[in-house]
């Protein structure tokens, strides 16, 4: 037991102290769109491109939860949605989004409620790289389900809970310092269970593990030790859900 305790203590001490998401992303906002070697953003781009092709977006109402600087908005606008609404806890990230898209409809997310979206008003709810930042996943998914129309769809991607459980953190560098963002570990099994209780049917699940194709990203960051530690561990997932056609 003393040896195990020492190992656990060592792992805890190696972790960066975590900053709350709103404050962290306010700091990260100015440089967020300039990360050509960010593995998570590259993987998320691929998964979202795939999943967006599977849902109807043209002429539909889309809510983007954790929209950030609008990473996916160019793709989404290309589908010509009737309405695209963005929500984020970071005013700094929303400021950047509005500079890129001056007519954007965005709201600072406070308390988890989706302002200006009545019940059953959205055709598609998306949330990318966000779920683990949310302190109450049950309340969040209930609210997202509330605004979703019967037959509507939901796309979720995020840092894989297996990597978070192994000590992975979402970090970035600013002014020579490493800043880690607070995460909560929500096993995919739990997300599936909550979705099922809400009447959301699972359509597709995508999981990607760290493999040889991702090694160059770690080499550029001089983080081969991290690569070796996490090789074979799932790093990101995507879930496509569909709401029952029967109104609540």
Quote the pLDDT of residue 7.
33
Q: What is the pLDDT of residues 104-161, one digit of tens each?
A: 999 999 889 998 999 999 999 999 999 999 999 999 999 999 999 999 999 999 999 9
Query: Which of the four pLDDT bands, split at 50, 70 and 90, describes residue 14?
Result: low
Q: What is the pLDDT of residues 33-43, one digit of tens each?
A: 999 999 999 99
CB 159 within 8 A of CB 129: yes
Question: Which is more confident, 15 or 129?
Answer: 129
Q: Mean pLDDT, the chain, as a whole number?
A: 93
Is the residue at 184 inside a domain? Answer: yes
- Write phi, then psi, for 154 (nearest 5 degrees): -135, 135
CB 40 within 8 A of CB 129: yes
Is the residue at 248 inside a domain? Answer: no
Domain of 138, CATH number, reads: 3.40.50.150
Is the residue at 163 inside a domain? Answer: yes
Answer yes or no: is pLDDT of 20 > 70.
yes
Is the residue at 106 inside a domain? Answer: yes
Phi-psi domain of 175 (left: phi exceeds 0; alpha: psi -120 through 50; beta: other): left
**SS3 annotation, the chain:** CHHHHHHHHHHHHHCCCEECHHHHHHHHHHHHCCCCCCHHHHHHHHHHHHHHCCCCCCCCEEEEECCCCCCCHHHHHHCCCCEEEEEECCHHHHHHHHHHCCCCEEEECCCCCCCCCCCCCEEEEEEECCHHHCCCHHHHHHHHHHHEEEEEEEEEEEECHHHHHCCCCEEEEECCEEEEECCCCCCHHHHHHHHHHCCEEEEEEEEEECCHHHHHHHHHCCCHHHHHHHCCCEEEEEEEEEECCCCC
Is the residue at 141 inside a domain? Answer: yes
> For 51-74, what is the mean pLDDT?
98
Query: Which of the four pLDDT bands, split at 50, 70 and 90, describes residue 247?
Result: low
> For 155-183, what is the mean pLDDT?
95
How many CA atoms lie less than 13 Å away from 71 in the CB half-sphere?
Answer: 27
Is the residue at 79 inside a domain? Answer: yes
Answer yes or no: is pLDDT of 10 > 50.
no
Q: What is the pLDDT of residues 181-204, one digit of tens each?
A: 999 999 999 999 999 999 999 999
- Write phi, then psi, for 121 (nearest 5 degrees): -110, -15
Query: Which of the four pLDDT bands, split at 50, 70 and 90, describes residue 99?
Result: very high
Quote the pLDDT of residue 115.
85
Count: domains in the chain: 1
Query: Which of the four pLDDT bands, split at 50, 70 and 90, describes residue 16?
Result: confident
Quote the pLDDT of residue 9.
40
Query: Which of the four pLDDT bands, split at 50, 70 and 90, describes residue 248?
Result: low
Quote the pLDDT of residue 2.
40
Is the residue at 67 inside a domain? Answer: yes
Is the residue at 191 inside a domain? Answer: yes
Answer yes or no: is pLDDT of 8 > 70.
no
| Structure tokens that stand for 25 in this block | 């992303």
Residue 223 sits in which domain range? Answer: 2-243
β-strand pairing of 234-243 with 177-181 = unpaired
């Amino acid at each position: 037991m003393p040896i195990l305790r020492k190992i656990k203590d060592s792992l805890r001490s190696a972790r960066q102290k975590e900053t709350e998401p709103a404050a962290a992303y306010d700091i990260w906002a100015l440089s967020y769109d300039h990360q050509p070697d960010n593995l998570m953003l590259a993987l998320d781009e691929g998964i979202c491109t795939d999943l967006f092709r599977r849902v109807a977006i043209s002429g539909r109402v889309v809510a983007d939860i954790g929209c950030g600087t609008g990473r996916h908005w160019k793709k989404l606008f290309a589908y010509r949605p009737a309405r695209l609404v963005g929500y984020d806890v970071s005013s700094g990230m929303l400021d950047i989004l509005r500079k890129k898209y001056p007519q954007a409809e965005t709201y600072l997310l406070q308390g988890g409620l989706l302002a200006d979206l009545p019940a059953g008003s959205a055709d598609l709810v998306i949330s990318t790289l966000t779920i683990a930042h949310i302190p109450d996943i049950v309340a969040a998914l209930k609210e997202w389900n509330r605004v979703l129309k019967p037959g509507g769809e939901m796309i979720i991607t995020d840092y894989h809970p297996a990597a978070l459980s192994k000590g992975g953190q979402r970090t970035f560098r600013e002014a020579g310092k490493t800043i880690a963002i607070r995460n909560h570990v929500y096993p995919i099994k739990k997300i599936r269970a909550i979705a099922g209780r809400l009447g959301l049917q699972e359509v597709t699940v995508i999981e990607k593990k760290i493999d040889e194709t991702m090694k160059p990203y770690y080499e550029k960051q001089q983080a081969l030790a991290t690569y070796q530690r996490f090789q074979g561990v799932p790093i990101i997932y995507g879930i496509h859900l569909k709401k029952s056609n029967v109104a609540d």
